[in-house]
Amino acid sequence: MELQEIANKYVEYVRNGQYEQCQNELYSENAVSVEPKGAPLEVATGLNMIKEKGRQWQAMVQELHSVEVSDPVCGGNHFSCSMDLDVTYKGAPRSKMSEVCVYEVKDGKIVREQFFFPAAPQQA
């Protein structure tokens, strides 16, 4: 798959809530996921650890009200998109979070993802 195809497929999967299918099809087994400094798991190495990071996040969520993902922007061997989440975490008020997500693709697979967002989400 070419970069644009991978980017489009990624956005389609996320918009449909098909996160594990997205990871299984589009990610390298050795992919790396990077969160901002201070996140519970700043760096996850390997697809299994990335999936575990996702399960840990889902366990913290009481209700995911909405997820909006922009169309991807591609350049070189990277693509990016913005993601807006409206979420209620367990034991916390409803909040909105906006982030920029950057992905590196090599040999037809996502090999790195990095997320950029403020340290504290805004209350809804």
In the chain, where are the structural domains located? 3-123
pLDDT in tens, 26-58: 999 999 999 998 777 889 999 999 999 989 988
CB 4 within 8 A of CB 82: no
Q: Which long-range contacts (CB under 8 A, 24 or more apart) does 81-89 make?
A: 81/7, 81/10, 81/11, 83/14, 86/124, 87/61, 87/63, 87/121, 88/61, 88/62, 88/63, 89/60, 89/61, 89/62
pLDDT in tens, 61-115: 999 999 999 999 999 999 999 999 999 999 999 999 999 999 999 999 999 999 9
Confidence of residue 1 (pLDDT cuts 50, 70, 90): confident
CATH (residue range 3-123): 3.10.450.50
pTM score: 0.91
Alpha-carbon span 92 to 37, nearest angstrom: 21
**Residues present in the chain in total:** 124
